[in-house]
Structure 1
Amino acid sequence: MKTIITIQHTQSVHHTNGMVGSWTDWELTEKGIEQAKRIGEKLQAELGDRAKDFVLYSSDLIRAKQTAEQVGKALNLTPKLRTELRERNLGKCCGKSVQWLRENLERDEKTIDDKMFSDGESRRDEWNRLKPFFDEIMSNNEQNIIIVSHGDLLSVFNIMFLGLGVETLNTCEMHGAAGGVSIMLETDDGKRIIKKVSDMSYMN
């Protein structure tokens, strides 16, 4: 049995100041740090001694890294930083406001191949960036995995975990919220099960 717990990073500065997240390296707010601490504490209470058997992966962007560090403190785990887990790169609007994005949008995203900005990533690009990491963790000997990442990236991860193709993202997706915790299982015979999706109660 393989267990995968995904955590969407908690409240970041860009959630409060009207700026674009993407590859801009925003830190967590004080509230976000407290939220991450509570997630770690609740996971420790839930996992108990089993926590030591987990491997913790995180996006290297600061807001995810800080979330993973707080969770890791509670579970006595050190995050392994992976660039594949970064949020989708939106190109030239990084460092700009959400209002600027709306006013300067180059293309509406109607399909997974459309890019809001020509120097950014499409959803297919994001999928292709994530896929080697996904294949790695699904095929290796790590049976207990925690992943800290970002909203758009994790919505792609969810579809990938269900064994659906990238084109599925043209018609549906499973999107979470900041601080949401999802729990997924793969049984020994290869059946994939999602037990929780973006459970916000871990921050309570």
Structure 2
Amino acid sequence: MKSMIVIPHCQSEHHVSGMAGGWTDWPLTELGRKQAEQVGHVLSDYPNIKEYSVYTSDLLRSLETAAISGGIAGFVPERVADFREIDIGQGTGQSVEWLNRNTIPLTGSRLTYRSLPGAESRLDVMARIYAKLDKLQSEGVENMLIFTHGFAATMFIAWWLKLPSEALEHAHFQTPSGSITELSVHDTGLRLLKKLGDTKHLQFTG
């Protein structure tokens, strides 16, 4: 594989309503839709954007980000359920305030920790994302553009950098909503994190 671009969805209604994300179908806000347009304009300036295979989480906020951006940059994304955000189990559909009151305290390994009954762990999210990426790579996909979520984005970056699962016991990559992360392979074979969570293109949408 030659390169990967990772974009967490733009501002969603749950970001401003005090509700939890997880496996919910919150739409983008008006600002989020403007941010997605800005993302599309940036991507349309990539000289080789037509060479990218484009994928998106099948949750609404990611689908909308990908559709708006794709309408400008000229691509149609493929839906991939494995690229969803972390499942928060019993917290699905609840408020952030409810989560704060009911989240199970962390004990032991952060990798296997589940914040609520029915929730995924970091290892669970890593396993499903890694497995799908491995499959796409085995099928010969060379350049990937992925629309996903803030928590999940770390797993794509870690896969690209070939980090062992133990590295995510304490590590997390900060990727704000609508940001762009670029990864590539250097001529020497080193796997590069060229750009992390860049938001310069969003400066006019506040």
TM over 0.5: yes
RMSD: 1.6
User: TM-score under structure 2 normalisation?
Assistant: 0.92
Asked if 1:122 corresponds to 2:87, the answer is no
Partner of residue 33, structure 1: 33
Counting only pairs closer than 5 Å after superposition, residues 121-140 of structure 1 correspond to structure 2 as 121-140=120-139
Partner of residue 97, structure 1: 95
Post-superposition CA distance 1:75-127 (Å, at most 9, x none): 21111000010000000111000100011113326511010112110101111
Mapped to 1, the partners of 2:72 and 2:129 lie a distance apart of 27
Structure 1 unaligned segments of length 5 or more: list them. none
Post-superposition CA distance 1:119-141 (Å, at most 9, x none): 11010111111111121233332
User: 2:6·2:156 contact (CA, 8 Å) conserved in 1?
Assistant: no
Deviation of 1:173 (Å): 2.0
Partner of residue 157, structure 2: 158
Q: Which amino acid aligns with 2:44?
A: Q
Deviation of 1:188 (Å): 6.5
Partner of residue 171, structure 2: 172
Partner of residue 60, structure 1: 58
Mapped to 1, the partners of 2:186 and 2:132 lie a distance apart of 20
Deviation of 1:159 (Å): 1.7
- Percent identity, aligned pairs only, is 33
Mapped to 2, the partners of 1:173 and 1:138 lie a distance apart of 24
User: 1:181·1:197 contact (CA, 8 Å) conserved in 2?
Assistant: yes
Mapped to 2, the partners of 1:134 and 1:190 lie a distance apart of 19
Post-superposition CA distance 1:27-64 (Å, at most 9, x none): 0001101100111111212x13x222221100000000
Mapped to 2, the partners of 1:105 and 1:54 lie a distance apart of 39
Partner of residue 191, structure 1: 190
Q: For 2:75, which of 74, 77, 82 is the aligned residue?
A: 77
Judge which range, 19-28 or 157-166, deviates more: 157-166
| SS of equivalent to 1:113 | coil
Mapped to 2, the partners of 1:59 and 1:188 lie a distance apart of 31
